[in-house]
Amino acid sequence: MKISRRSAIAQSAALMGAAHLMDPAFQLKAQQPAAPPAPPPDPRQEATRAQRMKWWRDARFGMFIHWGLYSVVGRHEWVMEDEAIPVKDYELLAKQFKPKPNAARDWAKLAKQAGQKYMVMTTKHHEGFCNFNTKLTDYCAPKQGPGRDLVAEFVEAAHAEGLTPGFYYSLMDWHHPDGALCATDEAARRRFVDYIHGHVRELMTNYGKIGVLWYDVSWPLNVQGWESEKMNKMVFDLQPEIIVNNRNALQGDFATPEQRITAEAGGRAWESCMTLNDSWGYQTTDDNWKSPKTVVRNLVTCARDGGNYLLNIGPRGDGSIPEPSVEVLQAVGKWLDGNAASIYKVEPCSVKRSANANFTRIGNTLYSQIHFWPGEEFAISGPRMKVLSAKMLRTGMPVKFIQDDLRVRFVGLPKTAPDSPVTTIVAECDGEPKQDTDNVRKTRERAAVA
């Protein structure tokens, strides 16, 4: 749901006790029928989940791509609804959408350079325009301005770089005649659900093996209305090894925290999706770019807590990638070149407290990713393990350390950060790295009584 974009307004409304009225997520939910109890998980999907998800867990970092008619406008992917553009006017964009050939190859090259292992592209966003070839509507790329199947090009480009392709698909549809009527008219629902399931069937049939199906926004139907179980069953019949997210009103294989990093309870898989500025689709004047440091820190936090990071680009209508996105992703890729060991195959890490660093772990190995370089010494409070040896991850240079009951200090470090935007020290320990700062607060020596 598009919460974050307006969260500032919602927060001030909250002070007046009216946040729910301002919040578009509430407005959407408010119009939806009450959620029925969640259906029990499908035993076949449960049984194959661990094996189906292995590649994705190892992949850790993916590229999200929002691309459609809104990319021609350049005022955010919600422009059709946010500016209440009439369907007839909006449709004209379909003829103006003329991407350069094989734009997706540049995205795939950039993703590879950035250390991303999979790519998820919008096959149809809320606007209803299909980037793929479909028999079910003429409102699709091959029959409009592009004159070709953009999803096919995307899949080919991902494969060419050894990346796994995934499909984003919005259930909500602002263009289809039954896209809203389906909530109140059974004949319309039947037509619309057949249309949507038909698309999903085409996507799962015509492009070879697909890694991820990434549903979005289930407004205005519920799990029964969408026939979500039947939909997922079809998906798994056609693509037995695929993984699906949780946005078709079912739990799916993984959760999708949006614009925030929140681990799921009970070890359930999750992927934090995030924009590089404040928009998913191309937004000409949105200059609120995240820095490489912010992106690396987010990636580290996802890795620390056992999640994936799906980071978005919003190409222009011609398919070109805004330069700031290129710069940030290339910088992240350079960092990952020397720091990959601390990201991809890590296990959840319970060491968290530091104002200067974040942490990841594999077995008894602790990676301290220092984003605010403290100078000659870096200390971790309350270690519950003994450090046996330490070195710089990128250069392999040994690092001296001193440990006592309350802390371990890495000493003799250079005055300025040796790596950018984050420096990683790797420490081999005598057990799983753990931290107890409560113990430090309670048991440390206090000042002598005056």
Site for ligand GLC in 56-75 (CB under 6 A): 66
Site for ligand GLC in 300-339 (CB under 6 A): none
End-to-end CA separation in angstroms for the chain: 59
DSSP state, residue 130: B
Rule CB under 6 A: say whether 202 interacts with ligand GLC.
no
Instruction: Choose among 169, 240, 243: nearest CA to 211.
Output: 243
Q: What is the DSSP string of 332-356?
A: HHHHHHHHGGGTTT-B-------SS
Which of 22, 217, 238, 379 forms a contact with ligand GLC (CB under 6 A)? 217
Rule CB under 6 A: say whether 23 interacts with ligand GLC.
no
How many alpha carbons fall within 13 Å on the CB side of residue 60?
Answer: 23
Residue 114 or residue 273: which is nearer to ligand GLC going by CB? 273
CB of residue 280 to ligand GLC, shortest distance in Å:
5
Q: What is the DSSP string of 348-389?
A: -------SSEEEEEETTEEEEEESS--SS-EEEESBSS-EEE
Residue 1 or residue 13: which is nearer to ligand GLC going by CB? 1
Using an 8 Å Cβ cutoff, are 333 and 115 in contact? Answer: yes
Q: CB under 8 Å to 186, separation ≥6 — which residues? A: none
Q: CB under 8 Å to 47, separation ≥6 — which residues? A: none
Residue 67 or residue 97: which is nearer to ligand GLC going by CB? 67
H or E stretch at 423: strand 423-429
Residue 192 or residue 280: which is nearer to ligand GLC going by CB? 280
Using an 8 Å Cβ cutoff, are 346 and 367 in contact? Answer: yes
Rule CB under 6 A: say whether 216 interacts with ligand GLC.
yes
Which of 10, 119, 273, 399 forms a contact with ligand GLC (CB under 6 A)? 273
Residue 171 or residue 296: which is nearer to ligand GLC going by CB? 171
CB of residue 71 to ligand GLC, shortest distance in Å:
12
- Residue nearest ligand GLC, CB atom distance: 2
Instruction: Choose among 175, 1, 201: nearest CA to 94.
Output: 175
Residue 5 or residue 293: which is nearer to ligand GLC going by CB? 5
Amino acid in the structure at residue 47:
A
Rule CB under 6 A: say whether 258 interacts with ligand GLC.
yes
Chain centre to alpha carbon of residue 420: 23
Rule CB under 6 A: say whether 280 interacts with ligand GLC.
yes
Interface size with ligand GLC, residues (CB under 6 A): 10
Which of 23, 62, 75, 77 forms a contact with ligand GLC (CB under 6 A)? 77
Residue 104 or residue 385: which is nearer to ligand GLC going by CB? 104
Residue 213 or residue 346: which is nearer to ligand GLC going by CB? 213
CA-angle at 183, arms to 28 and 42, nearest 5°: 85
- Show the binding pattern over residues 368-387: x = contacts ligand GLC (CB under 6 A), - = does not: --------------------
Rule CB under 6 A: say whether 173 interacts with ligand GLC.
no
Instruction: Choose among 413, 426, 311, 293: nearest CA to 362.
Output: 426
Rule CB under 6 A: say whether 80 interacts with ligand GLC.
no
Interface contacts to ligand GLC, rule CB under 6 A: 1-2, 66, 77-78, 216-217, 258, 273, 280
